[in-house]
Amino acid sequence: MIDLKQYGYIDSETPPIDLIPGRVTELQRDQYTVITEHGEVTAVLKGAFYHTVGTREEFPCVGDFVFLQYNESGASRIAKLLPRRSKFSRADYSGHAAGYAKTILEQVVATNFDYVFIASSLNWDFKVSRIMRYLTQTRQSGGQPVVILTKADLVPDFSIPLAEVQKTAPGVPVHAVSSHTRSGLDELSEYLQPGKTVVFLGMSGVGKSSLLNALMNQDVMTVKGIREADSRGRHTTTHRQLFMLPSGAMVIDTPGMRELGLFGADDGISAGFHDVEDLITQCRFSDCRHQSEPGCAVLAALADGSLAPEHWERYLVQKRENKFVNDKSGYLIDKRARQKSIAMQHKGKKGGNKK
Ligand code: GDP
Ligand code: ZN
């Protein structure tokens, strides 16, 4: 029997007699993996969920505690979502391809974390302003922020950036670490206590995967060489989305979580590549990488010639160049989503008025 308290479960509510508690550790399409006292089980939502739940944000996601009907021989059924103590969400445009005037949905990407490790690399493009934006995002999430300055082995002296963060964000703990030499990692043990859950925020390339591997004492995440950073696929992640560290703490890493920190394109790029960005919103999957995904609007447009390959290449090059210097906060995602929604409604209205 597994003690769910090891997974951060607080039994504030007694489950009905036919249900047991569990924590969602993985979500693929409609398939859930849930850790329960009987171990990991696969589960689906009970039919009633689809009728009673009004919005997507009320659907369980990785990190959620749920009550489920345990089924020994097949899929268990998730019957109830328990209240969340923290969450990160992103705007989801995926409903858009089906028609005009779609509402932008809130998609929850991680929940019930205790700490948010805001990762920022010491060796390039160190910007306190970016850390502050992540801090705002973190405070809205309900998690406790911890600033992690990464790649400490690459700088002779990190006392100045460290002091700068301490001064700008008083009261927020700051640690300089190196995943390569393991210096500073010990300092993180005060957060990585049994039953505690952590998520990482930070731009691509700052060393989040490396840190997770170092804390796991094994490679669970592909670390990319900076040079090939964006040429092909971002992360060949294992399917796992909730990792149990040897310390007994957990790390949630979902594709959606990564996007919060990635946030690539800047408005300048968008201005010159409206067509491309519009196409991207039409991909079937909101996290489409435009490589081989079914329903990819970019691949379709390349195939039928409506998108010139050079134009697509130029877009990718620009994105790549901007990747490390740009930053987008949750606010900007929302802003873009709102603008898109307004544009869509406008389009819909125009069409509807035609007689
Ligand atoms: P992520 O995109 O945030 O997950 O970043 P990765 O973990 O994939 O790391 C990006 C690059 O930074 C890789 O080339 C890593 O080898 C390198 N890197 C990560 N952590 C460290 C570190 O502590 N020291 C040094 N020197 N390089 C690091
Ligand atoms: Zn695509």
The verdict on the CB of residue 184 being under 6 Å from ligand 1 is no
Characterise 62 by phi-psi region: left (phi > 0), alpha (psi -120 to 50), beta (else). beta
Six token digits for residue 242? 């909730």
What is the CATH classification number for the domain harbouring 273?
1.10.40.50
Whether the predicted pLDDT of 16 surpasses 60 = yes
Residue 184 lies in a domain: yes
Tell me what pLDDT residue 348 has. 45
The verdict on the CB of residue 225 being under 6 Å from ligand 1 is yes
Residue 311 lies in a domain: yes
Residue 260 lies in a domain: no
The total number of structural domains in the chain stands at: 3
Tell me what pLDDT residue 67 has. 96
Among 51, 81, 111, residue at a domain's last position? 81
Average pLDDT, the chain: 80
Tell me what pLDDT residue 252 has. 95
Confidence of residue 129 (pLDDT cuts 50, 70, 90): confident
Looking from the CA of residue 200, the nearest atom of ligand 1 is 3
Cβ pair 226, 323 in contact under 8 A: no
- My answer on whether 24 and 168 are in the same domain is no
pLDDT digits (tens, 9 = 90+) for 149-208: 999 999 999 999 999 999 999 999 999 999 999 999 999 999 999 999 999 998 888 899
- Among 177, 188, 210, 216, name the best residue to mutate to test ligand 1's pocket (greatest count of ligand atoms within 8 A of Cβ): 210
Residue 120 lies in a domain: yes
DSSP secondary structure letters along 263-306:
----HHHHHHTHHHHHHHHTSSSTT--SSS-TT-HHHHHHHHTS
Tell me what pLDDT residue 315 has. 81
Among 49, 81, 113, residue at a domain's last position? 81
Name the residue range of residue 149's domain: 87-253
C-alpha to C-alpha distance for 344 and 352, rounded to whole angstroms: 12
- Ligand index nearest the alpha carbon of residue 150: 1
Range in 106-120, 122-136, 313-327, 335-349 with the lowest mean pLDDT = 335-349
Using DSSP's 3-state secondary structure scheme, residue 8 falls into coil
pLDDT digits (tens, 9 = 90+) for 250-272: 999 988 887 776 543 343 444 56
- My answer on whether 56 and 97 are in the same domain is no
The verdict on the CB of residue 60 being under 6 Å from ligand 1 is no
Six token digits for residue 29? 């399409």
Among 221, 253, 285, residue at a domain's last position? 253
- My answer on whether 94 and 195 are in the same domain is yes
- My answer on whether 140 and 208 are in the same domain is yes
What Å distances lie between residue 73 and 1, 39, 49, 115, CA to CA?
Answer: 17, 13, 22, 36
Whether the predicted pLDDT of 319 surpasses 50 = yes
DSSP secondary structure letters along 228-249:
TTTTS-S----S--EEE-TTS-
- What pairs with residue 109 in β-bridges? none
- My answer on whether 95 and 62 are in the same domain is no
pTM of the model: 0.72
What is the CATH classification number for the domain harbouring 19?
2.40.50.140
- My answer on whether 99 and 216 are in the same domain is yes
Residue 330 lies in a domain: yes
C-alpha to C-alpha distance for 73 and 198, rounded to whole angstroms: 33
Q: Which residues contact 340 (CB under 8 A, 6 or more apart)?
A: 93, 96, 104, 281
